[in-house]
Amino acid sequence: MDLRTTIIDNISMSVRAILTDEQLQAVQDALTLQLNAYEIQERTTEVTVIDNTPDSMLSKFLATKRIEGKSEATVQRYRDACYLMIHSLCKPLYEITTYDLRYYLADYKRCRKVSNRTLDGIRRCFSSFFNWLSAEGLIGRNPCAALSQIKYTKVVKKPYTGPEMERLKQACTSIRDLALLEFLYASGCRVSEIVRLNRSDINFLTRDAVVLGKGNKERTIYLTPVALMHLQDYLNARTDSNPALFAGLKAPHKRLSKAGIETTLKQIGKRAGVENVHPHRYRRTLATNLLDRGANIQDVATILGHADLKTTQIYCYISQQNVQAAYRRYAA
């Protein structure tokens, strides 16, 4: 039966005792005319389940970060930091206070003995998460609004010296490792960018290649004649069919991973007697050397794939000798 008919019948039953037959008919006719313009549905009493659990909200936040183009490594850092906090506090997100977060960070530092720099990185993850919750209207008050930045001592990270780079090259026991060191310095690539490169990506004629950097942004990297020479020697000597630019020395010659490159450099550094050897230090060394030799900082930022010049400035180590020379040249 049409719901409109049911409504008219129910109303008629309710007023039948106080109306004459003519009056009742008039009411029924009026209702029929008025209700004809509407489609009527019965209200459901079923409960709609909305998943607003902390884990569900975190998943939606991470999905948003992926849509924004954040790398999977960055998304994973957000997940690790926020997941641990959520399950340590064991409270609904809207009940978490600034004090809760301060206590959590203090306890995290005490138990894990992490540096303030690491702790501030965790705080930034929280801030991004709660800012998103607040913007989406999922919480009333943002507990991170009053959570100040954690101050830490900024240690000046030095690049490799010329003699250190020579000792590292001399400590290489394979043409692959020598090609890798030359490539790291000449390109200024991040390790994550190198591991994705294939042999076919290198243009030996134009001495460059296109890499996929942070935020899935493409950029062109450049190579020196020396780096290309060692790379060509390595590729010519390979007998495997792996398309990867750098592969394992032993069968099945898998693509060299981030951990594989880092381990290789540590071993080379140990043989060379050079401390603190890691891939990223080559990137810092290239940036410093380019600026020392007169390159424009904007060009250096483009080479490194930095969107912000401040990041490039942090990378570069300014030697006191250069500062002194600049003073004597321009101050007098």
Q: For the domain that residue 59 is a member of, what is the CATH number?
A: 1.10.150
Overall average pLDDT of the 3-26 stretch: 78
Same domain, yes or no, for 66 and 115? yes
- Whether 10 is covered by a domain: the verdict is yes
Same domain, yes or no, for 98 and 239? no
- Whether 145 is covered by a domain: the verdict is no
- Whether 142 is covered by a domain: the verdict is no
Q: What pLDDT is recorded for position 50?
A: 54
**Does the structure show a pLDDT above 60 at 48?**
no
**Does the structure show a pLDDT above 80 at 68?**
yes
Q: Show the CA angle centred on residue 106, arms to residues 102 and 109, nearest 5°.
A: 140
Same domain, yes or no, for 84 and 219? no
Please give the residue range of the domain that contains residue 14. Answer: 1-48
Q: Of 177, 93, 194, 204, give the one whose Cα is nearest residue 138.
A: 93
Q: Show the CA angle centred on residue 42, arms to residues 40 and 43, nearest 5°.
A: 120
| 301, two tokens | 């930022």
| 171, two tokens | 């400590």
**Does the structure show a pLDDT above 70 at 51?**
no
pTM of the model: 0.69
Q: What pLDDT is recorded for position 152?
A: 86
Task: Specify the length of the chain in residues.
Answer: 332
Overall average pLDDT of the 143-147 stretch: 94
**Does the structure show a pLDDT above 80 at 129?**
yes
Same domain, yes or no, for 86 and 58? yes
Boundary-marking domain end, from 135, 153, 180: 135
Same domain, yes or no, for 25 and 64? no
Same domain, yes or no, for 64 and 200? no
- Whether 245 is covered by a domain: the verdict is yes
Task: Give the span between the Cα atoms of 310 and 78, in whole angstroms.
Answer: 23
Q: What pLDDT is recorded for position 16?
A: 78
Q: What pLDDT is recorded for position 4?
A: 74
Q: What is the rounded average pLDDT for all residues in the chain?
A: 89
Q: Of 225, 228, 262, give the one whose Cα is nearest residue 245.
A: 228
**Does the structure show a pLDDT above 80 at 323?**
no
Domain count of the chain? Answer: 3
Amino acid at 3: L
Task: Give the span between the Cα atoms of 98 and 105, in whole angstroms.
Answer: 11
Same domain, yes or no, for 38 and 69? no
Same domain, yes or no, for 210 and 113? no
Query: Three-state secondary structure along 163-178?
Result: HHHHHHHHCCCCHHHH
**Does the structure show a pLDDT above 70 at 171?**
yes
- Whether 215 is covered by a domain: the verdict is yes
Q: What is the pLDDT of residues 247-258, one digit of tens each?
A: 999 999 999 999
Q: Which residues form the catalytic set?
A: 190, 214, 280, 283, 306, 315
Same domain, yes or no, for 183 and 275? yes
Same domain, yes or no, for 76 and 105? yes
Overall average pLDDT of the 46-59 stretch: 75
pLDDT band at 43 (very low <50, low <70, confident <90, very high): low
CA 282 from centre of chain: 22
Overall average pLDDT of the 180-192 stretch: 96
Same domain, yes or no, for 120 and 245? no
Residue 276 CA: distances (Å) to CA of 81, 181, 199, 204, 287: 27, 15, 29, 32, 18
Same domain, yes or no, for 38 and 75? no
